[in-house]
Structure 1
């Protein structure tokens, strides 16, 4: 699970889907789609307090889905995190590499994020599920 943060505060969750890309809800980032506004925390077990396994990474680019009815965003990371027992990408079938876009996923994903200041269903520590 990834914590998407603005100004050091958790906004919503995402999932590492490639060595340098996090998939999340477009609703999460659409109000501020500027990459430099965001950081991604990986390896955090709880939102309260730090964790020895976590890393904070800068975002270099955000790709919002342009497909009607889609609510997906990919945040591209400045550096590749070191994979560990606490930081792993999810396994998805890929037709190609992430192509700096969204049509790589060979399956349908339902994403939920924070809307209107309330968190959606899912892990209460991470403010919503995927």
Structure 2
């Protein structure tokens, strides 16, 4: 049985829409989490970073963070808390499958999970 695929999706984001379309073109109908409507908490964000194999800062939309004049944070827990409070600053899309995650920038990155 194939692993469940989940996409943290923003339907207003072109890359997110492209990634969802790419998954569907490969016969995958993912569980869609519209993270602006149901934001992940700090603990869930920490798990996503672990699944990405990266750093907390990998989840941050840097341009939007700077535009808001937010301070640079080094502590992962502070980053996760800030993103939980302002989910619009989460980099998107994020696709999770089989205990691993990939950012869909570019969308083709997520094909590694299939």
What is the TM-score of this pair, normalised by structure 2?
0.28
Higher strand share: 1
Q: Which gives a bigger RCO, structure 1 or 2 (Cα 8 Å, sep 6+)?
A: 2
